[in-house]
Amino acid sequence: MPNERLRTTLLESDYNERALADELGLDPKSIQRWITRDVTPRRTTAHRAAKLLGVPPSWLWPELEQERESASSAEIVTLYPHRSEVPRHLWLDLLANATQRVWLYANASLFLPEDNPESIGLIQRKSENGTEVRILMADPDSPQCITRGIEEQLFDAIPARVRMALSYYSPLADTPGIDFRLQKETLYNSIFVYDDEMLINQHVYGMYGYMAPILHLRRMQGGDFFDMYIRSFERVWEVSSPIQESNFWRQRVAAINRSVANADHLSRKLFTASTAASVSQRSGNTISAPSALSDSALSDPEATPITCAPPLRPACISRGVSPMRIVFVLSNLTPYFAVARSCATPTRFARTSSSEPYPPTSKSRKTSSLKVDNFTRALAFIFPLSTD
């Protein structure tokens, strides 16, 4: 039975049998068999021919529609009822094996770097090796992001989670070859593309992301399930903006500049206070001068063995402020811990019991030779509790 649709379409087009065969790289007899014997060509050839003739492939060869539906169903690898049930290694395996493209589209995708801390560095290396990397996340200041917080009854926690995730992913924005954008659209599905494999977090109204199902797809020739989500990604990508143009990025840059300026100010203040300090001298109870202020001591810090001050009368700096107090009276010390560590004097005060006699005997006198690293661990424990 001849294919009358193909015959009619060919007559109405700018091609004849020979011209179409030349365009497709085939023998004209192949085109004749398509018409006279109703032979269905291979899918790729059929799509090329239909595109040249300006009609859908299924119009010329209806059998292709059934094959397409079968191929689309075959693209489904599996369905996980909840994101939390996806094997943890799968996320990292798909990322590690991708060579052509890595596309991430989500509001926050905070779980990815938290469950797989090496993922950020891996994405950077992928980009350096020529893999196309697109990062598409929510703008935390957008109305849609705020609405999602209300829908999930997490309220301000959703924009906060997005900001936290952006902080994790921010190093990628400065990596050459990585395109990082923020979007202000309603998120229907989170889409994670790794070459020809895809994980889709299908969101459910009022449910948390980890409770929503995950669909795992693998692209197959002739199917359109995978390509449908690719087209959705592309639509959102077209209306998104680079992260550098967002309010989040401007706030981030301003915060970094303030931190650098404050750290520099703190460094100068600590050094000035330390150099101005003098140690009180008492008979039989002399505390060594802060020799750590010299360049050599700072480069190779080692505590000096010293004797303690009299009980209930601790030795102090002539200004009436103890060395520890110099550190703690400054505001917002937590970000400047590294600066405080580099400027701290290695002089250590030994402890004595309050029941010891005054002046302490040589037998009861104790010494200390703790290293700066031990002092650092103590500061790390104290600083989180002393932000003012």
Q: What is the pLDDT of residues 106-149, one digit of tens each?
A: 999 999 998 888 999 999 999 999 999 999 999 999 999 999 99
Domain chopping of the chain, boundaries? 4-61, 76-245, 266-385
- DSSP H helical ranges for 152-304: 157-173, 225-238, 247-276, 295-299
| CA separation for the pair 103, 157 (Å, rounded) | 25
Which pair of tokens denotes residue 257?
A: 């500049």
Q: Which of 174, 171, 172, 152 is nearest to 107 (CA)?
A: 152
pLDDT value for 308: 38
| CA separation for the pair 295, 342 (Å, rounded) | 11
pLDDT value for 287: 42
Peptide bond into 357 cis (omega under 30): no
pLDDT value for 129: 93
pLDDT value for 273: 62
Low-confidence ranges of the chain (pLDDT < 50): 278-336, 338-358, 363-373, 378-379, 381-388
Q: Which of 161, 165, 166, 169 is nearest to 120 (CA)?
A: 169
| CA separation for the pair 371, 300 (Å, rounded) | 10
Q: Which fold has domain 4-61?
A: 434 Repressor (Amino-terminal Domain) (1.10.260)
Q: Which of 29, 64, 31, 67 is nearest to 49 (CA)?
A: 31
**Collapsed DSSP state (helix, strand, coil) of residue 305:** coil
The residues, any chain, with a CB within 8 Å of residue 225's CB and separated by 6 or more, are 72, 73, 75, 76, 217
Q: Which CATH number fits domain 76-245: 3.90.25.10, 3.40.50.300, 3.90.930.12, 3.30.870.10?
A: 3.30.870.10
186-200: pLDDT as tens digits:
999 999 999 999 999
